Structure 1
Amino acid sequence: MKYPYPKFIAHRGGGNAAPENTLAAFELGVEKGYTMFECDVKLSADETLFLLHDDTLDRTTSGQGSAKLDWQRLSQLDAGSWFSANFQGEPVARLDDIVHFVLKKGCFLNVEIKPNPGQDYKTGMACAKFLQQFEQEGKPSPFLLSSFSEEALQGAYDAHTATPRALLLDEWRDSAWETVSALECVGFVLNYQIASQELVAQCHMIDRFVMVYTANEPRDIKRLFNNGVDGVITDNMNFAQSYEGLMLQKSQIKIGL
């Protein structure tokens, strides 16, 4: 197993320093030194792939109620003011815009398939087919598709594309071994609190990488890398630069903090 991604992944673009899942967040993440990003993707009512975590619009946009709207209505929402007046007018982001930004910067992107209710399979397939057009034959994929939803991952699998997949788990379940095998997932994305040394070793034994979410404290980062995890999704926008030149030496980690 070879883990192909950076050690640190910026959660929802800019972690705790910008309005989540917006282009502004990704721009800030790049400024902070991040070269891989995680985001949440849904399908609009007219099948545009866009970034939003929740099933409703209330928390992170100027809209209210269900996110099952057409793109024209979604594109008119303010997705920045809830975070800070400095981001007033920041729009909801399309996946298309984020992908072009990430590729232009030479970065990686973890697309979490976050379907609206009842759209798991459809959203998974749509994400996989969309990303396929940016894959280059003979070159490693700049993308990773992940989801808590096995149905969404099934949709991505059935799209028969080159984009790698990973299973997201908040709590461990033994059926996960069968799931990653059946859906040909290349790795796990685990709640950092369950990423014990024993579990990570078991994942590596079957040639699956272990990425974890969402760890923000230096003491947790040190423990996680000592446990053997391959990558950490974080809201802490200081890690990419503070841990530059991270050296793993057997059981010891040199941390530049």
Structure 2
Amino acid sequence: MGLLIVGHRGAMAHLPENSLASYALAEEIGVDEIELDVRLSKDEQLFLLHDATLDRTAADDSARNLGPVAELTLAQLQAAMLDSGRGVVTLAEMYDATHSFIQLEIKDPAVVPYLARFFAERPEDAARTVLTGFDADAVRHAAEEMPHIGRQVIVTEIAKAEEYEGGLWALLDHAKVTRFASGFGGLTPELVEQLHARDVEVHVWPLRTLEQTREALHLGVDGATSDDPAQAIAWRDQILAENGVVARS
């Protein structure tokens, strides 16, 4: 009985998402993994951002109404002031500043060949990474380019996976996954057991309540992603204690 806690974009309930400070707080809290988002600039540099524009995370007009980030150079992205008090974080900066296992979500399929080059030069970082995404084709491309790095496909609920031609199992086979992440909808202990029988790890998201934490433990999933990982860890440890299990230190 256990549950890995994954910090969503660091510890975004407390500090700006996808910032070095947010990643550092997540590690201080004691997360098992950090989930974050990778994109590609106009000049083919890898950086971390969830959205396709800077608008939502902008601190001032220097970062607003600049258009798609894929059409901006890294220098432009770094000059824009975000809510973190600086511009975007590069992928290399993040790896240099962290030691945790990383769930690296592919937000733009164009990043895949650039990630392959990046990890070829940084095998120690490849070893603490799983590549994730909602785009099954991008995840499959990642599997072909980087077969030594784990892959995870994400869905909002099991029903969405069943919409794929051939259903859930065809989706997982197509994406060549080692992990599967889903919202709680449609997940059952029996399905989790079937996934485990295929050597596929199972994660749930988002984890926002004590009851969802109980459900995650009941389902037998391997991990859960939370905006507030400190609270998620406290909930997990409370439930484990109720069942006479001492949490990992």
- In structure 2, runs of 5+ residues without a counterpart are none
Q: Tell me the CA shift for residue 213 of structure 1.
A: 1.3
Higher relative contact order (CA 8 A, sep 6+): 2
Map residues 232-247 of structure 1 onto 2, 5 A cutoff.
232-239=224-231, 242=234
Aligned to 1:111: 104
8 Å CA contact 1:41–1:95 kept in 2: the answer is yes
DSSP 3-state at the match of 1:45: coil
Aligned residues: 234
Q: What amino acid maps onto 2:138 in structure 1? A: A
Change (3 A) 1:151 1:33: same
Map residues 130-145 of structure 1 onto 2, 5 A cutoff.
130-136=118-124, 141-145=127-131
Change (3 A) 1:160 1:107: closer
TM-score (norm 1): 0.81
Structure 1 residue 223 corresponds to structure 2 residue 201: no
Measure the CA separation in 1 of the matches of 2:237 and 2:210: 15
8 Å CA contact 1:126–1:156 kept in 2: the answer is no
More helix by share: 2
Aligned to 1:124: 112
Q: 1:99 aligns with which of 81, 89, 95?
A: 95
- Per-residue displacement from partner, 1:12-52 (whole Å, max 9, x unpaired)? 01131111111111112122222410001111111111111
Q: Tell me the CA shift for residue 140 of structure 1.
A: 9.0
- Per-residue displacement from partner, 1:122-169 (whole Å, max 9, x unpaired)? 322322432343325xx9921110010122113212214411101111
Q: 1:66 aligns with which of 68, 77, 92?
A: 68
TM-score (norm 2): 0.83
Structure 1 residue 210 corresponds to structure 2 residue 202: yes
Q: What amino acid maps onto 1:144 in structure 2? A: V
Percentage of matched positions with identical amino acids: 27
Moved more, 225-234 or 54-63: 54-63
Q: 1:39 aligns with which of 36, 39, 48?
A: 36
8 Å CA contact 1:110–1:144 kept in 2: the answer is yes
**Runs of 4+ displaced beyond 3 Å:** 243-249, 251-256
Q: What amino acid maps onto 2:80 in structure 1? A: L
